[in-house]
Amino acid sequence: MKEENESLTENLQIEKTRNNEQEHQIQLKDKENQMLRQTINELETKHAPVSVPDWSTGFRISLNIL
């Protein structure tokens, strides 16, 4: 019984360690995703379409300035 308990305790500790590692990886991916979203937002803001009049038609057209 004692050996079984020790074995279960050891398995539990291994599982806890594995879960902690997975949680850490998830946190790293969340941070990376947040940084990528911020970069995308900055790029979209910098390269937002510009609306200018098209004098030949009288309508406004959107230009993507890169």
C-alpha 27/C-alpha 44 separation (Å) is 26
3-state secondary structure of 34: helix
Q: Where are the domains of the chain?
A: 2-64
Instruction: Evaluate the CA torsion angle 30, 35, 39, 41 in order and state its sign.
Output: positive
Strand partners, 22: none
What pLDDT shows up at residue 58? 72
Per-residue confidence band for 26, with pLDDT thresholds at 50, 70 and 90: very high
* 55: Cα within 13 Å, side-chain hemisphere: 0
C-alpha 30/C-alpha 25 separation (Å) is 9
**Does residue 50 or residue 55 have the better pLDDT?**
55
